[in-house]
Structure 1
Amino acid sequence: MALNIRSEEVNQLAETLASAARVSKTEAVRMALVNELARREAKPSLLERIKPIQDAIATYPRTGLKADKAFYDDLSGEP
């Protein structure tokens, strides 16, 4: 299946990468796509990234206090 790049910016980026890597533009585009997909797979998901934060918060003891309107009014000094 053919890939037709109509964007001059993308074409220029492919030429720049091809020149730097000393490969064809087709190979440069393939390399860029493979690298981007690998980068995305290696990046931990949002759930994996916030898990340590959730675990740290879970270690704090429960106070039994409710964070309701009265609680926030008391914090802000409102009657």
Structure 2
Amino acid sequence: MASLYIKDEEANALAARLANRRGISKTMAVKLALQHELARDEVHIPLRERLAAWRKTQPIGEPTGLVADKAFYDSLSDEDGD
């Protein structure tokens, strides 16, 4: 198990204040604060970069060779294309 030792007195005091206010441990207070800061940073990542990261985990799939033209879409709603 890795441990984190906070040497800075102000950081230690801030962790203690949040822990006391929330009724949680200092460890949980640090985790909570770090999670919130990371979430705030993600909002500032440009949409293009967020979508690129999402596309890496959600592959589109292989092309089927099928044509999605007007006739195809009309067939979905039982229209004859007239």
Shorter-normalised TM range:
0.5 to 0.7
**Residue in 2 aligned with 1:20?**
21
- Percent identity at matched positions? 47
Matched pairs, number: 47
- State the SS of the aligned residue for 2:7: coil
Q: Which runs of 5+ in 1 are unaligned?
A: 46-79
**Residue in 1 aligned with 2:43?**
42
> Matches of 1:20 and 1:28 in 2, distance apart?
10
Greater helix fraction, Structure 1 or Structure 2: 1
**Residue in 2 aligned with 1:48?**
none
Query: Cα offset for 1:44?
Result: 4.5
**Residue in 2 aligned with 1:8?**
9
Aligned pairs for 1:60-79 within 5 A:
none
Aligned AA for 1:34?
Q
| TM-score, length-scaled by structure 2 | 0.52
| TM-score, length-scaled by structure 1 | 0.54
**Residue in 2 aligned with 1:33?**
34
> Matches of 1:44 and 1:2 in 2, distance apart?
29
Query: Cα offset for 1:40?
Result: 0.3
Q: Which runs of 5+ in 2 are unaligned?
A: 47-82
Query: What is the RMSD of the two structures over their aligned residues, measured on CA atoms?
Result: 1.8
> Matches of 2:21 and 2:39 in 1, distance apart?
21
Aligned AA for 1:30?
K
Query: Cα offset for 1:18?
Result: 0.4
Query: Cα offset for 1:42?
Result: 1.1
